[in-house]
Amino acid sequence: MAYWLMKSEPGTWSWQDQVHDGVAEWDGVRNNQASNNLKQMRVGDRAFFYHSVNEKRIVGVVEVVREYYPDPSDPSGRFGMVDVKAVTPMNRPVRLKEMKADPRLQDLPLIRQPRLSVMPITEDAWRVICELGQTGA
């Protein structure tokens, strides 16, 4: 199993929307590096659900239930999407500020490439963030 972080603007697609829908498409990704990360996702992989913009915090965990396929909202046909399902909320949301302050997370892509919307997370970083969020996902 691989681990990821997926960012969403809560005004566009929030954790509450994800929970309400259960399984949903993770679409609209138009960055080549983020798209390549989507292509690497496999069924069963887990991802942190990160609220960007003003919140800047991890609020939940999702699981990949359908691998990369074409995104019909992309008229160029170059980009795709995956489907994810809500697994669990973070018992305690983990803020970006907190992650930046933790020396165990200094190599986290979220800190090094803050604009990237889909990024890999190492197993060690996953464990640290789950610990900070008081969540055993």
Which sequence spans correspond to the domains of the chain?
Answer: 3-132
Could you tell me which of 111, 75, 82 has the C-alpha nearest to residue 23? 82
Helix then strand then coil, % of the chain, to nearest 5:
30, 35, 35
**Confidence band for 35, pLDDT divided at 50, 70 and 90:** very high
Which CATH code of 3.90.420.10, 3.10.590.10, 3.50.50.60, 3.30.499.10 fits the domain covering 3-132? Answer: 3.10.590.10
Tell me how many degrees the CA angle 73-77-80 measures, rounded to the nearest 5.
Answer: 65
pTM for the predicted model, two decimal places: 0.96
d(C-alpha 41, C-alpha 54), whole Å: 27
**Confidence band for 136, pLDDT divided at 50, 70 and 90:** confident
**Tens digits of residue pLDDT in 68-118:** 999 999 999 999 999 999 999 999 999 999 999 999 999 999 998 988 999
Ramachandran angles phi, psi of 95, nearest 5°: -80, 150
Q: What is the mean pLDDT of residues 18-43?
A: 97
